[in-house]
Every structure is written in C-alpha cells, then in structure tokens.
C-alpha cells in the first residue's frame, strides 16, 4: 500500500503528464473532491474535473511551494504557468486512506493570459 507521500508524488507526476484518467486512479471509488465550491464524486467526475483543468492550463509547468504531510493528511500550496493561463496561488488538502485519496478540497483561480 502506498504512503501519503507516494500517492501525492504519483498524483503530481500524472498531472504533469496531463493525463486525467491516470490522475483519477489515485482516488477511491467513493472519493469526494470540493474545488472552488463545486463537488465532484468518484473517479469519473474527478477525471472530468482534471480534464477541464488541463484544458484551461495546456502544457502547464506545475510547482509545489509547500507540502506538509502528517500521516493520512496532506496540505499543498502550488502554482502553475502555461502559455494560455496561470494559477499564481493554489491550495489543496488531501486525505489518503489505504493508498487512495478519499477526500480533497482545493481553492485556486485560473488567470487567463
């Protein structure tokens, strides 16, 4: 079973590959993700969320600025930049259970241009 650190490292690698289906494999079947006030349930909805994010930020370069991990809980501050848009500051909180993300909340603003 993967540790929280290993799950997040794999999740970040899949995000860097711009592969929403691969990203969604890190989530439990009953996972819940709340992003900017919208709720996504299960890997299929979560893959759609990431497909939209990747579309908004094509070929983005992602940067993790802060990562604090305590057992099953992870807090991440991040930013990214693409030719089309950027995120100057984003934050995610993850709960990892049995090697899969079960809960996540995130807040960020995509800035065009």
Residue 24 has pLDDT above 90, yes or no: yes
Three-class DSSP category at 3: coil
Three-class DSSP category at 79: strand
> What are 47-98's pLDDT values in tens digits?
999 999 999 999 999 999 999 999 999 999 999 999 999 999 999 999 999 9
Angstrom distance (rounded) from CA 18 to CA 40? 19
Predicted local confidence at residue 113, as pLDDT? 82
Task: Work out the average pLDDT over 1-25.
Answer: 94
Q: Which helix (H) or strand (E) holds 21?
A: helix 20-24
Task: Work out the average pLDDT over 18-32.
Answer: 96
> What are 34-46's pLDDT values in tens digits?
999 999 999 999 9
Q: Which two tokens stand for residue 39?
A: 């709720």
Task: Work out the average pLDDT over 19-25.
Answer: 95
Looking from the CA of 96 toward its CB, the CA atoms found within 13 Å total 23
Q: Which of 79, 85, 57 is nearest to 67 (CA)?
A: 79
The answer to whether the pTM exceeds 0.85 is: yes
Q: How confident is the model at residue 1 (pLDDT cuts 50, 70, 90)?
A: confident
């Amino acid at each position: 079973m993967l540790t929280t650190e290993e799950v997040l490292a794999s999740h970040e690698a899949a995000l860097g590959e711009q592969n929403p289906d691969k990203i969604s494999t890190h989530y439990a079947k009953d996972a819940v993700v709340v992003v900017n006030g919208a709720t996504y349930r299960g890997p299929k909805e979560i893959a759609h969320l990431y497909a939209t994010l990747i579309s908004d930020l094509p070929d983005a370069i992602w940067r993790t600025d802060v990562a604090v991990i305590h057992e099953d809980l992870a807090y991440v501050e991040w930013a990214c930049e693409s030719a089309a848009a950027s995120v100057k500051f984003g934050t995610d909180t993850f709960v990892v259970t049995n090697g899969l993300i079960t809960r996540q909340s995130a807040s960020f603003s995509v800035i065009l241009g």
